[in-house]
A = this chain, B = another copy of it.
Amino acid sequence: MGEEGENLKETFSEISPSDFFYRNRDLAGFTNPSRALYSTVRELVENSLDACEIERIPPEIYTRITPFDPSENEDPRKYLVRVQDNGPGVAPDYIAEAFGKVLYGSKYKLRQSRGMFGLGGTMAILYGQITSNKPVKIQTSTDGIKKYSLTLMIDIEKNKPIILDKKVDDARKIKGTVVEVVVEGDYLRSSQKIQEYFKQTALVVPYANITFVDPMGRIYNYLMTTQEMPPPPKETLPHPYGIDVEFMRRMIRQSKELTLSKFMPKRFHRVGAKTAIKFLQFAGLDPNRDPKSLTDEEIVNLVSSMHKFEEFLPPDANCLSPLGEKIFSAGIIKELAPEFFTVVVRPPSAYSGFPFIVELALAYGGRQLDKGIKLYRYANRIPLLYDEASDVAWKVINEEIDWKRYKIPLEAPIAVVVNISSTRIPYKTVGKEYIADRPEIERELKNALRETLRKLSAYLSRRTSEEHEKRKINLYMKYLPLIAGFAKELAGENKPPNYKRLLEQSREEAVEEEKVNVSEEGRKGEGQKTIEDFANS
């Protein structure tokens, strides 16, 4: 102990971004062997799904977790995680840095994708390296002709890849990428979450074939049930409401436009030539000014005027890739098989200049749902499995909705499935555990949930009155023949009165009544479906 803590003079030092995330790996979801195994699988699978979807290739993802060292027979231990996809591959020039450098990637764009921080895949590799000391192996082909195989480690202090081995083979017509990493993991304690991750992923990508082989060799297959894929997300220009001074400076530096009136429509989302002129007038700037001639003061003024001007059109959600009702429904049926479900796709909205769309499905009953409300959360199609109680959707369900109003029985078996799509999901952690409660998102979630609850409420009351009618008619069926028999005897007639006509009539009335109920309570109910409806559509 003698030498510890003697030097109290402050010394300063710099660390690389690799080093920062190495030291603070809890931040990115690599807290312990159990959580880290889950995060490794998730980050690699998500990179694969992103890569396939951007090129509109129906994803075929194969994931395998194998014990790495046969002499270890207890968790935590070293596992080989292998994730293979049929995506577009990584171009040879980028391979080493894409996998071996933190804060390097293809995600630094205004485009919807699962990844956002450009960090996860490299974190998995970094975590593997520090716990197993094994390099990562990457095989990738962009053309099906040449396959590049690299073995590399990360120089954490310098934040750069060290290539240990590199070769080029015949790709044998197979495109895509295979990543193999050895990590210290705890499958015993993470199996439930990993299986839940695949199950929930399958729910929102019914257009993918996903195979998972667990360490015991058990195979979990999630098969494609629809050929249809959502439109791929597109890169978009920044909206004026989301701009800050730093960003404006960069735009001006890159700008080739010689006047503000040309600069505005060219560089910003939803700014046409007319709006540009109107806005520049509002900001008190000459439309013919060269953007590069603006002083610091003028740039600040330009940006704050942008936030105040009320005539910009809201962000367009065309660049987003929501699931859509059809694919979402297919996923719900495939994974939850409920008695009743309804899907709401809300109109696009925006927060701080970033467009987003909320999609919400409410499922009820069936064999798979347990009693109570289960929340499934997705952000850009990533299932979020941790820290549920901090998420905006949890807040809406538990604090903002008056469930009694909808007369839904306590303990009803219900699933609420939420998917938020955005060019920028407001996560509060690098590990992408939960979504901040931006008021705009909260409002959309609330509206979506209310809409689906009204439909479920209508369905349940219809079902109740149907059951009531059925019981009534059953009662008639039982007693009318007897009453008719007594009547016949009392009247000394040979034939009983025609009670069958009465039964028919009751049935018809019940159905009529029901129709009125549905059209009153289910006015906005075009989207509501039962499994049968869907099968017939």
Inter-chain CA distance A123–B246, complex, in Å, is 14
* Contact between chains at A88 and B10 (CB < 8 Å): yes
* Contact between chains at A133 and B26 (CB < 8 Å): no
Interface centre among A316, A429, A430 (most CB of B within 10 A): A429
- Closest residue on chain B to residue A14 by CB atoms: B104
Chain B residues with Cβ below 8 Å from A536 are: none
Inter-chain CA distance A245–B156, complex, in Å, is 12
Task: Knowing A27-B429, A390-B387 are in contact, say whether A8-B55 is a contact too (CB < 8 A).
Answer: yes
Inter-chain CA distance A428–B387, complex, in Å, is 11
Q: Give the contact stretch, choosing among A204-212, A229-237, A411-419.
A: A229-237
* Contact between chains at B117 and A24 (CB < 8 Å): yes
Chain B proximity mask over A406-446: 1 for CB below 8 Å, otherwise 0? 00000000000000000000111111010010000000000
A314 within 8 A of B: no
A13 within 8 A of B: yes
Inter-chain CA distance A13–B8, complex, in Å, is 40
* Contact between chains at B106 and A11 (CB < 8 Å): yes
Contacting residues of chain A (9-32) with chain B, CB-CB under 8 angstroms:
10-17, 19-20, 22-24, 26-27, 31
Chain B residues with Cβ below 8 Å from A319 are: 4-5
- Closest residue on chain B to residue A131 by CB atoms: B244
Chain B residues with Cβ below 8 Å from A385 are: none
Interface centre among A13, A97, A234 (most CB of B within 10 A): A13
Inter-chain CA distance A4–B315, complex, in Å, is 13
21 A-B contacts, Cβ less than 8 Å apart? A1-B316, A3-B237, A5-B234, A8-B232, A13-B106, A15-B103, A15-B108, A16-B103, A17-B17, A17-B103, A20-B103, A24-B117, A26-B428, A26-B436, A27-B427, A27-B430, A130-B244, A130-B247, A133-B245, A428-B433, A429-B429
